[in-house]
Structure 1
Amino acid sequence: MAGRYKSDLKWSDVTPKRDYMNRRQLMAGAGALALGSIAGPAMASLGARKSNYGRGLELNTYEDITSYNNFYEFGTGKDDAKNNAGRLTTDPWSITVDGMVDKPGKYDLDDLTSGISLEERIYRFRCVEAWSMVVPWVGFELSDLLARVGVQSSAKYVAFETLVRPDEMIGQRRPVLDWPYREGLTLNEAMHPLTIMATGLYDEPIPNQNGAPIRLVVPWKYGFKSIKSIVRITLTDTRPPISWEMANPREYGFFSNVNPNVDHPRWSQATERKIGGGLFSKRVPTLMFNGYESEVAGLYAGMDLTKNF
């Protein structure tokens, strides 16, 4: 496959980072669309799809987003990922795609995403990493990648695995979880347009501590569902095991949708704090499906969301 298109410009040359940080512009909607175009002549000719996703949301700072992370492969502290992830080698990078697909194989990341990168958009998503935050991810829909490899009709789930490299990912030297980190979605969840593969945030490539070079983002679910540093994607007809459910099924279910009506066994999930406001920042009501109820509730029609948590 041909290599990925690389423009002379970054999308920040069209929409500078300072504009993203201007709350008045966000509230006015001047750049507060979830999906905006990437800079460059090829992107300009495509025409960006626009959406109300993220309108009126105040973004967290780059420092917030990259300094307070759950990434146990680098340690269990919120700042361990930033402190320890710099040693991770992310180039070259390959992803094995297997299971119920027409074109299984081990793909170089550039080859796997060749062409798809031209469809990249800016996604302003509420995300739950540890506390809640609003992140301007740069990425593309997972469904575009799955279409490239050909999903077979018998597939019902998409499973993911994170890299195992304990010489660089020092948290893997301890059996905190059963490595590799595993996650999974139903195929319907995976094909939803809000389910994206992120390769950057703001006008920067995605930092190591946030899941470089490519990670999943599922904004209506708790953050541990959005698996980082992906090296395997498997299509299957059986529900795949996921790391936190394997470790503690009483507290962590397969779906893990943000649901203020289902308490964690050790705390209430009815309210939340936004990262960046400090320990004593005001708690606000947690939104069903993290604020994306109108977009994704139909995926769970007829399902008992207290049982399937």
Structure 2
Amino acid sequence: MRLLKFKTDLKESDVTPKDIFVRRREFMAGSIALGVGVQSFASDEIKKDSSPKWMQDKLSISKGTTIKAEDQLTPYSDVTSHNNFYEFGTHKAAPKLKSENFKPFPWQVKISGHVEQAGTFDLEYLIKEMMIEERIYRLRCVEAWSMVIPWMGFSLASLIKKLQPTSKAKYIQFVTSDDKEQFPAIGDRFSNIDWPYREGLRMDEAMHDLSFMAIGLYGESLPAQNGAPLRLVVPWKYGFKSIKSIVEIRFVGEQPYTTWNAISSKEYGFYANVNPEVDHPRWSQATERRLPNGLFSANRVDTKMFNGYSEVASLYKGMDLKKFI
């Protein structure tokens, strides 16, 4: 069993047991902190996992991770109903409302570029040897709202090692499906997005132990609105870097095209590291709204450099992070 080596101020008492996720009804969503009483999950709040047996079996064998005592988990209902996934629509509720017919299985991922294991592979093949972990990460959106989510998946580094990129691979690019039958908003003639959605990382970022490939959350396979069946999670970067529904992984020699950086490079940098000292041109990044919140419970917290994951700072030694946003 591989142990995570990154630094943390978490305690063993902060661990959320796996059986809590599975029992759902008895899970305490943390609303006490907001002064609205204890909230537990209704029996129908998390749908029965309809993924293939091989995926369910994979998710059932996992190890737990930890969460800061002050970081209450965001309730499942908020995690799955407040999403940016423009392939389904621009409204936060659109991904949940318009993804009922999304079919994440069977699913294939194309591997291309400077890599030994190039080709198109079934998702089952790509993850069959991976150790599934539960990691509870903060997710900070560039729009200044945030969540705390219990993801299930495996380290991106373990997948990269399996694929064996060559020395020419300096960056890694990810591509989302642009299937119009699956994603109704792709055909919107008013959209300014050049589909498919693309994102990228520098290779050392991709190889950092915090970089994660998620295949589930809250003990079940990913819902469509959260990026089923495979998405990236890079917790020290703004959420738009954590690309969803990946169908291609490219190993490239130059900094790759990324969607939001192409739309507005002054607002959405390639690196997109969470940085409370660098404001978005249209709003401050010093604080964030932690979901759930409401009219009488703003639940606003201070934003931390690198979203609190200071162990990644060495990746950017010598870089001007106000220039390389």
TM-score, scaled to structure 1: 0.84
1:95 matched to 2:109: yes
CA distance in 2, matches of 1:183, 1:299: 18
2:24 alignment counterpart: 17
What runs of 5+ residues in structure 1 fail to find an aligned partner?
1-10, 25-37
1:142 is matched by which residue type in structure 2? Answer: L
Matched, 1:255 2:263: no
- Select 1:277's aligned residue among 293, 317, 322: 293
Match of 2:5 in 1: none
Q: Distance in 2 between matches of 1:213 and 1:43?
A: 17
Shift of 1:278: 1.4
Distance in 2, matches of 1:51 and 1:212, equals: 22
Give, in whole Å, the separation in 1 of the partners of 2:223 and 2:22: 20
Matched, 1:203 2:230: no
Shift of 1:85: 1.3
CA drift at 1:186? 0.5
Give the deviation of 1:113 after TM superposition.
1.0
Residue 50 of structure 2 aligns with which residue?
A: none
Q: Structure 1 segments of 4 or more deviating over 6 A?
A: none
- CA positional deviation for 1:275: 1.4
- Over residues 124-179 of structure 1, what are the superposed CA-to-partner deviations in whole Å (9 max), with x where a residue is unaligned? 00002451000000010011111111021221101000001112201101233100
Aligned pairs for 1:132-151 (under 5 A) are 132-151=146-165
For the Cα contact (< 8 Å) 1:12–1:39, is it kept in 2?
Answer: no
Distance (whole Å) between structure 2 residues aligned to residue 158 and residue 74 of structure 1: 25
Following the alignment from structure 1 to structure 2, what is the Cα–Cα distance between the partners of residues 290 and 112? 29
Residues 282 and 89 of structure 1: is their aligned pair in 2 closer, same or farther, counting only changes over 3 Å? Answer: closer
Structure 2: which 5+ runs fail to align?
1-17, 32-55
Q: Residue type matched to 2:187 in 1? A: R
For residues 77-128 of structure 1, give each alpha carbon's deviation from its aligned partner in whole angstroms, at most 9, with x where no partner exists.
0000000012222111000011111110000000111111xx1110000002
The Cα shift of 1:282 comes to: 3.9
Distance in 1 of aligned mates of 2:103 and 2:263: 28
Contact kept in structure 1, 2:136 and 2:149, CA below 8 Å = yes
Counterpart-to-counterpart distance in 1, 2:268 and 2:295: 25
- Which residue number in structure 1 is paired with residue 230 of structure 2? 214
1:234-253 equivalences under 5 Å are 234-253=250-269
Alignment CA distance shift 1:144-1:278 (3 Å)? same
- Aligned-partner residue type, residue 195 of structure 1: S
Aligned residues: 280
- Contact 1:158 1:235 survives alignment (8 Å): yes
* 1:158 alignment partner, SS class: strand
**Which of the residues 84, 88, 93 maps onto 2:98?**
84
Which whole-Å deviations, capped at 9, do the CAs of 1:174-198 have from their partners, x for residues lacking one?
A: 2331000000000011011111000
2:193 aligned with 1:177, yes or no?
Answer: yes
Deviations 1:232-284 (A, max 9, x none): 00011100010001111111110001000001011111111111111450422
- Alignment match of 1:292 (pick from 309, 315, 320): 309
Verify: 1:153 aligned to 2:167, yes or no.
yes
CA contact (8 A) 2:66 2:135 kept: no
AA aligned opposite 1:171:
A
Could you tell me how far apart the structure 2 residues matched to 1:114 and 1:137 are?
Answer: 18
Residues 67 and 51 from structure 1, CA distance in 2 versus in 1: closer, same or farther, beyond 3 angstroms? closer
TM-score by length of 2: 0.80
1:200 CA drift (Å): 0.5
Letter of the 2:124 partner, please give it.
Answer: D
Cα pair 1:59 1:136 within 8 Å, conserved: yes
